[in-house]
Amino acid sequence: MDASSGRPSGAALKTTRLLPIRTPRSAVAEWTTTHYSAEEELLNPTARLMEAIYIVVTVGLGTPVNLPVFSAGIAAQLARYPHFHSIQVTDGSKEPRWVRTAVNVDNHIIVPTLDPVAVVANPDRALEDYVASLPALPMDCSRPLWEFHFLDFPTSEAAATAVIRVHHSLGDGMSLITMLLASARSAADPTRLPAMPKPPARTGAIYEPRRRQQSSGSALAAFVTWIWPYLVLAWNTIVDVALFAATIVFLRDPPTLFRRAGDHVMSNPHRRFVHRSLSLGDVKLIKNAMNCTINDVLVGATSAALSRYYFRNSGSSKTNKLCLRSVLPVNTRPTTSLQAGTSIFQRMFANTTILFSNMVGPTEQIELCGHPIVFIAPSVYGGPQALVVHYQSYISTIKVILAVDDDVIPDYTQLLDDFTESFGHIKDAASKLSTSIINRE
């Protein structure tokens, strides 16, 4: 336990799976109930729903860490956002709210001391073990809920690594990644913001409006031809709404290799965060060959990877009763009632198996606080799902990032290999399909 901050250090973690770490702190709390700013903002319902959820972004750096430069950059960029210099106050006298506070950036920068022998022996594993230790280390609620952890040693992918931990109430994954990119600059021209992909053109057969064909039959046949797509849409909508309601009330995915058994699915504090780089060009090749979207490709490859893992480890070939559903969170409108959303949120996540997300990144290399970025790997922890799948594009690659409950999926590296192999097989099939189409033409 770190006596200065009252928070457990890595060395205090009672587990043999993690490296011993020490995170010394010497700063006092940044806010107390006896003095706080008059600037207050009520917590919105979404922030209150995300009480146990944290976002972890592992950022590979192309150079060793220059701590003074990084600290100054954080103070000038990220710390200026309102929630990054606010804390959550729930003192019972008022509604839970944000209260503005002064920020000492040094209190939010952590440079852990790891076992040097373990770091030299396997730096990639040392990094993985450290990130896996974060869910067991509570954040200090008397300070704004964000941290930068710097691991200044080379790994197989980067010269150094920054691990950013942020409470989900500060924003969702998309808004936080956008804010991170807004604080970064183009490596080619530090005076401008990073270049992002252009919106998709939405061209191709799947996007072309249907043309009303002249019917040579009766007026009734023409009417049925016209109305049939609308009837199908209405039926699918009814089915989707019914399944959504059933999921909230009683419909639960059965126990599989990806899900804990039991009536109450609880979050395991032990989480492993692993990632692998894939070629964005290969993903686009598959998209063009299949005449679909990139998201379709990622969902299909994810299904293929999970199938490979399941059938290899279960020894089963029966799929007629296998149910495995994923949640893709989307924020479409502001929520006005917490009681309308809390139970829905909890039941939906507890009754499904996987959390899935896909985010778009810059098309060029960027710098953050003067440090070139090699890769970006966002993820989350705190939810009940044993498997969270994130995709993050950056330059010419796309990262697949897995956050796994290693009690449920102990061989998570093999699962990550299944993703790589599945993409490879789909790419080979798409290449043959493209060649066949070209030959026919």
Beta bridge partners of 389: 356, 402
DSSP state, residue 147: E
Q: What is d(CA 217, CA 136) in angstroms, rounded to the nearest whole number?
A: 69
What is the greatest pairwise CA distance in the chain?
Answer: 85
Q: In what order do the strands lie in the sheet with 271-279?
A: 271-279, 397-405, 387-394, 354-359, 326-327
275 φ, ψ to 5°?
-150, 160
> How would you class 36 by CB atoms within 10 Å of its CB: exposed for 0-12, middle for 13-18, buried for 19 or more?
middle
DSSP string, 401-436: EEEEETTT-TTHHHHHHHHHHHHHHHHHHHHHHHHH
Of the candidates 234, 223, 64, 232, which has an alpha carbon nearest to the alpha carbon of residue 151? 64
Cα torsion 270, 414, 349, 273 to 10°: value is 50
Q: Which among 85, 149, 168, 275 is annotated as catalytic?
A: 168
- Beta strand 354-359 with 387-394: parallel, antiparallel or unpaired? parallel
| Backbone φ and ψ of 65, nearest 5° | -75, 125
| End-to-end C-alpha distance for the chain, whole angstroms | 70
Annotation marks residue 168 as catalytic: yes
DSSP secondary-structure letter at 51? T
Task: State how far the Cα of 197 lies from the Cα of 195, in Å rounded to an integer.
Answer: 7
| Dihedral, CA of residue 34, residue 38, residue 41 and residue 47, to nearest 10 | -30
Alpha-carbon distance of 356 to 349, in angstroms, equals 11
CA dihedral 45, 47, 51, 56 (to 10 degrees): 150
Q: Which positions are annotated as active-site residues?
A: 168
